[in-house]
Structures are given as C-alpha cells and as structure tokens.
Amino acid sequence: MDDSVPQSDLRVSIVQGETRWHDPAGNRDHYAGLIAPLHGITDLVVLPETFTSGFSNDAVSAAEDMQGTTVAWMLEQADRLDAAVTGSVQLRDGDGVYNRMLFAAPGGGLAHYDKRHLFSFANEHERYAAGDRRVIVEWKGWHILLQVCYDLRFPVFSRNRFDAARPGLPDYDLALYVANWPSVRSHAWKTLLRARAIENVSYVVGVNRVGIDGNGLHYSGDSAVIDFLGQPVSECMDTEVVVTTTLQAAELQAHRERFPALRDADAFNLEA
C-alpha cells in the first residue's frame, strides 16, 4: 500500500474566535481556553490569521521572533492536545516582519509559511515582508498546503499539480486558509473556498475570525470545511465557535480515481 497518500481520516478543528485587538497575552489565554477541550478528539487545530493581535499594520512594532512567547505557546498547545496547531502571527525574522503561518506538531515539530500575497488595499505591503515559497507539510499521512487570507484570490499559487512534487500523485490533499476576511466581502470568501476545492480536487478548510476589530471592521466568520466536490461538509455562522470535522481519506482517494481531472491539467513550475 502506498503510504504517500492518506490512509486514515483526519479530524480537523475550526477555531472561529473573536480575536482581541493588540492583546497577545489575552488572545493566547482566550484561544487556549477555546481549544483545551479538544484533547483526544482532534488531529489538527486551525486558528485564524494574526490571532494574537487582529489584522493590524501597527502590530509590526510588537512583533516577536521565532524564540518568542507565541511560538513556544503553540508548541505547548500541540503537546497538550496531542494534535498539530496552526495559525498566523506577526513574526520578525532578520530585517523583516512576516505574516507567518506556523504549523506546530507534538514533540516540537515546527514548520512555517510566510504570506506570499500582501494585501496592498490595506497597505500590508508597506509594513510586512512577503514570503517567497509555497509550503506543504505532511501530517498523519496528509499533505497539507498552508495559505493565508489574500492568497485565496490567487489560484495559480495554490494550484494542485499532478506528478510534480510527488511522482504519480497530486502535490497535496488539503489546503488550509487562515484569514481575517471582513464580512463586506464574505460572498467572495465563500465562493473562492469552493472554487479552490473543485479545481484542485482537494479538501479545503477556511478559518476566519468573528467580531469587530480595532479598525471598526466587522467579521462574519463563515469558516468552513469544503470537500473535493466543492460541497460544504461543515459551515460556521456569525458567532464564536469551535467545530471538529472528520475528513474522509477513502472518499478523497476514490473520487480522484473516479474523476482524475488533475492528470489532464497543464504542467508548470511555480515561481515566487
């Protein structure tokens, strides 16, 4: 049996929280309380984008580094829950500050992806540095693409290729999008999540925040798990909530065998 494709189901927990504005310690405590009951019932916990501060250009001045409190906190939560924990925070690395999506695993495993597409509409590009590589992690037999918010609008960067990174297989099985996506653009959020799932023949999980941030922007959540047909497996409304959904490995593989559309896709190389 080929162990490079998922052989077991994956339990994924959406954490659709109301992030406090510019309050890293308060947010760590708040999110720790939300996810504490997940021990033993999940494999992967997904927090929103910039979950320690909200989406703020001014948070640059308080950015931690990889040896800081928040990275240690994520590793601690992964050990406590015996599950991977992911979400993005502002982190300083060298001369730049990145909107960095961390992927912490039990036992100290840590990977990260730096947001590639910066939201110039809100001047994110003036304060943050852009990432220069796509990141796919492997967890419990699943290959998982890490993406942050605005990346959702750029399908080439998330395109699932066939027979490129993995001989005879797609690049990934699940795409994660963590976000601070305002409710005024919620239709685009919901539509694009479904589009990314359909075109990439992959599960997609999108996790957004709720509430009103320090800039007065309202967030309606709309976090969701979307299957490879573009159908919602679970959807969240406009409230703080934690939802755990099981992704079916056998159903994904059966659909890919029954409808092998990725094999007919155009071959190309990704460049930053």
Tens of pLDDT, residues 72-113: 999 999 999 999 999 999 999 999 999 999 999 999 999 999
To the nearest 10 degrees (0 to 180), the angle between helices 24-35 and 69-81 is: 10
Model confidence at 3, pLDDT cuts 50, 70, 90, reads low
Mean pLDDT in residue range 198-208: 98
Does residue 212 surpass a pLDDT of 50? yes
pLDDT > 80? residue 2: no
Cα 143 to Cα 155: distance, rounded to the nearest angstrom: 18
Q: Is 132 a residue whose pLDDT tops 70? A: yes
Residues serving a catalytic function are 49, 115, 149
Mean pLDDT (whole number) for 109-130: 97
Q: What share of the chain is helix, strand, coil (3-state, %, to 5)?
A: 30, 30, 40
User: Counting Cβ atoms within 10 Å, is residue 227 exposed (0-12), middle (13-18) or buried (19+)?
Assistant: buried
Torsion of CA 14, 19, 23, 28, to 10 degrees: -20
Residue 248, judged by CB atoms within 10 A of its CB (0-12, 13-18, 19+), counts as middle
**Residue 173 identity (one-letter amino acid):** D
State phi, psi for 139 to the nearest 5 degrees: -145, 120
